[in-house]
């Protein structure tokens, strides 16, 4: 099968701490892949390196056979784990920004999502509630017809209702041919979404498997396997 | 991509700068009109207000430029900026050119405000002022040329210095006290540059007074500033290109 992301011997250190330690991963096209691990396991660092937000690392990362560069950034729609809106921006400014910067941005898709999320067009983004800002950021990212979508903890710290809306929207509105990477430490209720899972533990990729095969082989749910791998009490 | 980045860099700041420019001219007009009432105290107050407005403009301009080059590159908005398919060079050039433009425009509007104040308060004929100005310029074209180039080089140096300061800060410090560390770094960098400049001046026959008063000294100073600016831009490029780490 064609691979869209190839990671070889990826190591990233912060002082004496190894955030990533020789990670090797080969991620296929068109799959939904869960990057799972507890807090501090290296999920966000891995994602930041794939998206080019961190350039100071050892090892190599190839996206569609190209090293991380402005060409690969055009392929990736990235939802970081924090809000990145500038104080001056209104929604219409953000729309123009995405339209100018990303050739795959679909305005109609965005307006559909905007209506679905009931977000007004005129207001300054900083005046929206945090929940609406999160939905807006999600709508911008999903309105791109990207080859790779990367969601860093999209359901971290949100209430169960919003969590359901976010997951359902990601599944319905993504480009169906694209690869989706979704990192989370909240396994409950998401295992049904993933074609494949990667477990990160202390900066190492300790497992990369097809979800169904893994669950069938172990005879346990993904949540139970996760707890077992990370030595949590079931 | 460069022009798109520049477009959005302008969009990010014009809502702050345009009202400021209009306000500075408006305040000059109001102050000048108040001077027409024959009162020395009122005239002094008006002059102080006009000078205060100019100073506010300088402070606001520098603050906005610092936000544009610091927070909007290495803070949370940096996640959006660096996820766009643009190169480090595109980002650096767009930031430098647009913020240099704001620096220049703030200077131009400060001068316009002073001229407006002078025209209304003193009541001289605008034609006479323009004629005198043209006569002065034609008598000393080299001074005008040298001053204009020096101002431009100072602007390029200032923007380069700020870009380098924030790039270096992002590389060496990841904690929560960025403002404090940034101010310390500013003083350290300023001192280092000052020492280098002083030592280089000592190797020449020039006597540097306020950056040089003689023609040769001015050009020597300009060359030095350009050299520093080049070092700042190139260093910032390589730091962002090779060692960028958004928090």
The secondary structure of chain A as a DSSP string is --EEEEEEEEEEEETTEEEEEEEEEEEETT-EEEEE--TTSSHHHHHHHHHTSB---EEEEEETTEESSHHHHTTEEEE-SS----TT-BHHHHHHHHHHH-TTB-HHHHHHHHHHHT--SSSBGGGS-HHHHHHHHHHHHHTB--SEEEEESTTTT--HHHHHHHHHHHHHHS-TTSEEEEEES--TTTGGG-SEEEEEETTEEEEEEEHHHHHHHHTS-HHHHHHHHTT---
Confidence of residue B204 (pLDDT cuts 50, 70, 90): low
Q: Identify the closest residue of chain B to A70 by CA–CA distance.
A: B85
Write out chain A residues lying below 8 Å of B16, CB-based. 88
Check residue A102 and report its DSSP letter.
-
Q: Mapping DSSP to helix (H, G, I), strand (E, B) and coil, where does residue A148 land?
A: strand
ipTM of the complex: 0.88
Residues of B contacting chain A (CB within 8 angstroms): 1, 4, 7-8, 11-13, 15-16, 72, 76-80, 82-87, 90, 174, 241-246
Residue pair B244/B91 in contact (Cβ under 8 Å)? The answer is: no
Write out chain A residues lying below 8 Å of B244, CB-based. 52-56
Write out chain B residues lying below 8 Å of A45, CB-based. none
Count of H-run helices and E-run strands, chain B: 9, 0
Average pLDDT of the residues in B47-70: 85
Q: Kindly tell me if the per-residue pLDDT of B239 is higher than 90.
A: yes
Q: Which residues pair with A210 in a beta bridge?
A: A196
Q: For chain A, percent helix, then strand, then coil, each to nearest 5?
A: 35, 30, 35
Q: Identify the closest residue of chain B to A99 by CA–CA distance.
A: B4
- Token duo for residue B115: 């001229």
Q: Write down the pLDDT at residue A171.
A: 81
Q: Write down the pLDDT at residue A42.
A: 92
Q: How far apart are alpha carbons B92 and B27 in whole angstroms?
A: 35
Average pLDDT of the residues in B186-204: 83
Q: Which residues pair with A180 in a beta bridge?
A: A32, A149
Residues of A contacting chain B (CB within 8 angstroms): 14, 48, 51-56, 70-71, 73-74, 76, 78, 80, 82-86, 88, 93, 96-97, 100-102
Write out chain B residues lying below 8 Å of A96, CB-based. 11
What backbone torsions phi and psi does residue A163 show, to the nearest 5 degrees? -55, -45
Average pLDDT of the residues in B88-94: 94
Among B64, B70, B95, which residue's Cα sits nearest to residue B178? B70
- Measure CB to CB from residue A53 to each of B4, B11, B79 and give the nearest one: B79
Residue pair A170/A138 in contact (Cβ under 8 Å)? The answer is: yes
Confidence of residue B119 (pLDDT cuts 50, 70, 90): confident
Buried b / exposed e over A77-112, threshold 16 CB at 10 Å, is bbbbbebbbbebbbbebbbbbbebbbeebbeebbee
Q: Which residues pair with B245 in a beta bridge?
A: A54
The answer to whether B245 contacts A73, with C-beta atoms less than 8 Å apart, is: no
From the candidates A20, A70, A82, A104, which should be mutated to test the interface with B, based on the most B CB atoms within 10 A?
A70
From the candidates A88, A138, A152, which should be mutated to test the interface with B, based on the most B CB atoms within 10 A?
A88
How many C-beta atoms surround the C-beta of residue B223 within 10 A?
Answer: 11
Confidence of residue B210 (pLDDT cuts 50, 70, 90): very low
Residue with tokens 């997951």: A167
Splitting chain A (234 residues) into consecutive groups of 10 residues, what average pLDDT does each group show? 88 89 91 90 93 91 93 93 87 91 92 86 82 87 91 78 79 82 82 88 90 88 84 52
Q: How far apart are alpha carbons B77 and B63 in whole angstroms?
A: 17
Give the minimum alpha-carbon distance from B86 to chain A in angstroms, rounded to a whole number.
5
- Measure CB to CB from residue B8 to each of A55, A74, A97 and give the nearest one: A97
Q: How far apart are alpha carbons A122 and A182 in whole angstroms?
A: 31
Q: HSE (CB half, 13 Å, CA atoms) of B240?
A: 26
The number of residues in chain A equals: 234
Q: How far apart are alpha carbons B194 and B57 in whole angstroms?
A: 26
Burial class of residue B226 in the structure, from the number of CB atoms within 10 Å of its CB (0-12 exposed, 13-18 middle, 19+ buried): middle
Q: Write down the pLDDT at residue A226.
A: 86
The answer to whether A70 contacts B86, with C-beta atoms less than 8 Å apart, is: yes
How many C-beta atoms surround the C-beta of residue A219 within 10 A?
Answer: 8
Sheet holding A204-210, edge to edge: A76-79, A148-152, A179-184, A32-36, A196-201, A204-210
Q: Mean pLDDT lowest for which of A77-86, B32-41, B49-58, B187-196?
A: B32-41
The answer to whether A97 contacts B245, with C-beta atoms less than 8 Å apart, is: no
- Token duo for residue B25: 């001219």
Q: Cβ contacts of residue B82 below 8 Å, gap of 6+? A: A52, A53, A73, B91, B244, B246
Q: How far apart are alpha carbons B194 and B119 in whole angstroms?
A: 40
Handedness of CA A159, A164, A168, A171 (dihedral sign): positive
Q: How far apart are alpha carbons A192 and A163 in whole angstroms?
A: 15
Its pTM surpasses 0.90: no
Q: How far apart are alpha carbons B210 and B71 in whole angstroms?
A: 32
The answer to whether B11 contacts A100, with C-beta atoms less than 8 Å apart, is: no
Q: Identify the closest residue of chain A to B240 by CA–CA distance.
A: A55
- Measure CB to CB from residue B82 to each of A53, A56, A96 and give the nearest one: A53
């Amino acid at each position: 099968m064609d691979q869209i992301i190839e990671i070889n011997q990826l190591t990233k250190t912060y002082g004496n701490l190894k955030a990533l330690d020789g990670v090797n991963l080969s991620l296929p096209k068109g799959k939904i892949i869960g990057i799972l691990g507890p807090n501090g396991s290296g999920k966000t660092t891995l994602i930041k390196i794939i998206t080019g937000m961190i350039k100071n690392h050892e090892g190599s990362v190839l996206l569609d056979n190209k090293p991380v560069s402005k060409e690969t950034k055009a392929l990736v729609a990235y939802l970081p784990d924090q809000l990145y809106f500038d104080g001056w921006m209104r929604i219409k400014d953000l729309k123009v920004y995405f339209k100018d910067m990303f050739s795959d941005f679909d305005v109609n898709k965005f307006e559909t999502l905007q209506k679905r999320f009931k977000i007004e067009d005129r207001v300054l983004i900083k005046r929206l509630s945090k929940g609406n800002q999160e939905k807006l950021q999600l709508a911008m990212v999903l309105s791109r017809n990207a080859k790779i979508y990367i969601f860093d903890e999209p359901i971290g710290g949100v209430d169960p209702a919003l969590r359901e809306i976010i997951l359902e929207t990601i599944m319905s509105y993504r480009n169906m041919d694209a690869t989706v990477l979704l990192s989370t430490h909240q396994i409950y209720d998401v295992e049904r979404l993933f074609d494949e899972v990667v477990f990160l533990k202390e900066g190492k990729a300790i497992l990369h498997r097809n979800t169904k095969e893994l669950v069938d082989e172990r005879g346990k749910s993904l949540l139970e396997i996760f707890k077992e791998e990370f030595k949590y009490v079931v | 991509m460069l022009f798109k980045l520049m477009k959005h860099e302008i969009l990010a700041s014009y809502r702050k700068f345009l009202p400021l420019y209009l306000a500075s001219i408006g305040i000059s007009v109001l102050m000048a009109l108040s001077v027409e009432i024959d009162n020395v105290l009122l005239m002094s107050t008006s002059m102080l207000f006009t000078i205060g407005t100019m100073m506010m403009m300088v402070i606001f301009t520098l603050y906005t430029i610092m936000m544009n080059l610091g927070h909007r590159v290495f803070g949370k908005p940096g996640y959006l900026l660096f996820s766009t398919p643009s190169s480090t060079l595109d980002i650096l050039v767009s930031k430098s050119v647009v913020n240099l433009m704001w620096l220049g425009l703030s200077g131009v509007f400060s001068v316009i405000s002073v001229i407006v104040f002078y025209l209304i308060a003193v009541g001289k004929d605008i034609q006479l002022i323009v004629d005198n100005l043209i006569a002065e310029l034609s008598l000393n074209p080299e001074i005008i040329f040298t001053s204009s180039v020096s101002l431009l080089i100072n602007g390029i140096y200032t923007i380069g210095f700020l870009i380098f300061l924030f790039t270096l800060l992002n590389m060496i410090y990841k904690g929560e006290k960025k403002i404090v560390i940034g101010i310390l770094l500013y003083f350290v960098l300023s001192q280092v540059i000052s020492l280098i400049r002083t030592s280089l001046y000592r190797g020449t026959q020039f006597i540097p007074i306020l950056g040089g008063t003689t023609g040769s000294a001015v050009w020597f100073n300009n060359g030095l500033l350009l050299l520093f600016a080049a070092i700042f831009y190139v260093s910032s490029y390589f730091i962002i290109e090779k060692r960028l780490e958004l928090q």
